Chain A
Amino acid sequence: MKATRNNPYGVIPPHLLNYLIEHGNDRHRRCALNTLTLDSRFRARTERHTSPTDARRGARGEPLRYIFDAGNTMELPGRQVRREGQRSTGDEAVDEAYKDLGATYRFFWEVLGRNAIDDEGGALLGTVHYGEDYQNAFWNGYQMVFGDGDGEIFLSFTRALDVVAHELTHGITEREAGLVYYNQPGALNESVSDVFGVMVAQYDASQTVEEADWSIGRELLAPNINGTGLRSMSQPGTAYDDPLLGRDPQPAHMRDFVETNEDNGGVHINSGIPNRAFYLTAMALGGHSWERAGKVWYATLTDDRLANDAEFVDFARLTLDNAEQLFEGGEVREAVRGGWQGVGVEV
């Protein structure tokens, strides 16, 4: 890549220096660090690696998927192994990621009329076999990344459709409300990913709210782990209790809200509260979660009035308003109100 005259960092563009810091050996890292000025604006910046897939757009109503294999390294995006329309590869993680991204796309398109993460049919990029025994899945601002798990605590992270959908939803939230990833707005950010993650799985299985188990990541825990998943939306705080994991710390009600500096101010902890509010709303309405409760939550996520530092009560008020705008008669609005009141958020 050619450096431009505007580049304040000299001949080597900053994204390459960042890449060396993140992927180089110790010597590369040190050299790159020395080259960078310690400009906080730069340090705060998230560099994205561009690739030829960036400019491509899928047809309306059709996903455009690219799956990469990191080969158990931490290099991203890795080697492209399957793209839209290609046959299954026989590699379970590759094919699961492809299928799950397709199911997630289908949900957002068919139920909510959203055309991919950017709503413009942009490519869905997923990397599998990331790292060695890597126990996580994440969204890095550009793509989804899935580890294989260690086999003792976690199995491959592509096994759980709700977790794949959870990560993709982080991309949507980033482009819509941009909820700050700290304290209550961060817990809302996490909860929104769980809400849409669980709905994608229910939609894919054609489950009613009574048939669904309302757990997140049930397929991820290894057989010897004492747990039913990563989180329970119906009964936050009960998903697992195991010596290798500890005990599920999620509260189900505002009276148990956890004040902490860990976990970005408890984003994966206090998300139990808005998660249960959605569960209570969906159960009160019955039928399929995505038909009414899901539409209210989506209208709220994409509502221009939702500030990026919104707290639970701000989000709750907007869900009420959106319920009223979307559905006549007041039944949905009252179900939403009951959901929030059930977790101690007064609206």
Chain B
Amino acid sequence: MSYQHSLGERARVRLAREGGVAYMPALARPREIAFHECSLSQRKRVCKLLDEAEQLKCPGDQAGQGDQRYFRIIIMPVGSENEVITLHVPERRAPESLVALWEKGPGD
């Protein structure tokens, strides 16, 4: 199932880079993307990245093993924390576009 078909206007996505030899709150720099604030092309871009993240993900307890960094993606299909899908993508597998989404947001 593609996120392009399952996420609507109410969806929110939270993305943080975690892991590493120490947990330092300010370095995780979580970013939240609210779909209702995004254009159609931005949403499509984010959904495409989420589809890719689905293929690159690994179990949570393996993502950070040995102090390796990873991206934790929380997908809230209806915009609330009652229903969430969590993906862990190891940093070494993360595409540049995912890193850019975390650093700069969904772009123009």
Do A and B pair up? The answer is yes
Please determine whether A262 and B18 come into contact, CB atoms closer than 8 angstroms. yes
In the assembled complex, A267 has its CB within 8 A of some CB on chain B: yes
Please determine whether A249 and B55 come into contact, CB atoms closer than 8 angstroms. no
Bits for A115-126, please: 1 = Cβ < 8 Å to B, else 0: 000000000000
Chain B contacts for A140, CB-based, 8 A: 66, 68, 92
In the assembled complex, A21 has its CB within 8 A of some CB on chain B: yes
Please determine whether B64 and A181 come into contact, CB atoms closer than 8 angstroms. yes
Stretch from B5-13, B34-42, B93-101 forming part of the interface with A:
B93-101
Stretch from A78-86, A199-207, A240-248 forming part of the interface with B:
A240-248
In the assembled complex, A74 has its CB within 8 A of some CB on chain B: yes
In the assembled complex, B65 has its CB within 8 A of some CB on chain A: yes
The residue on A at minimum CB distance from B30 is A262
CB distance from A173 to the nearest CB of B (A): 9
Chain A interface size band reads 35 or more
**Residues of chain A in range 253-300 having any CB-CB distance to chain B below 8 Å:** 261-264, 266-269
In the assembled complex, B57 has its CB within 8 A of some CB on chain A: yes
Chain A contacts for B26, CB-based, 8 A: 242-246
Please determine whether A264 and B55 come into contact, CB atoms closer than 8 angstroms. no
CB distance from B31 to the nearest CB of A (A): 14
A-B contact count (CB 8 A): 110
Please determine whether A43 and B23 come into contact, CB atoms closer than 8 angstroms. no
Best-surrounded residue of B16, B18, B19 (most CB of chain A within 10 A): B19
CB distance from B74 to the nearest CB of A (A): 9
Chain B contacts for A264, CB-based, 8 A: 18-19, 60-61, 63-64
A299 to B56, CA, bound (A): 38
A171 to B67, CA, bound (A): 11
Chain B residue total in the interface (Cβ 8 A): 35
Please determine whether B61 and A33 come into contact, CB atoms closer than 8 angstroms. no
Please determine whether A263 and B18 come into contact, CB atoms closer than 8 angstroms. yes
Chain B contacts for A163, CB-based, 8 A: 21
CB distance from A247 to the nearest CB of B (A): 7
CB distance from B97 to the nearest CB of A (A): 7
Please determine whether B63 and A138 come into contact, CB atoms closer than 8 angstroms. no
In the assembled complex, A217 has its CB within 8 A of some CB on chain B: yes
Contacts A29-B95, A167-B67 known; A43 to B58 CB distance under 8 Å? Answer: yes
Our pick among B16, B25, B63 for the contact of A245 (Cβ within 8 Å) is B25
A186 to B65, CA, bound (A): 9
Please determine whether A33 and B67 come into contact, CB atoms closer than 8 angstroms. no
Please determine whether A138 and B66 come into contact, CB atoms closer than 8 angstroms. yes
Kindly list the 5 A-B residue pairs having the minimum CB-CB distance in the complex, ordered from nearest: A246-B25, A139-B66, A268-B23, A246-B26, A230-B22
Chain A residues proximal to chain B, CB less than 8 Å: 21-22, 26, 29, 33, 36, 38, 43-44, 46, 74, 135-141, 157, 163, 166-167, 170-171, 174, 180-182, 186, 216-217, 230-231, 240, 242-247, 249, 261-264, 266-269
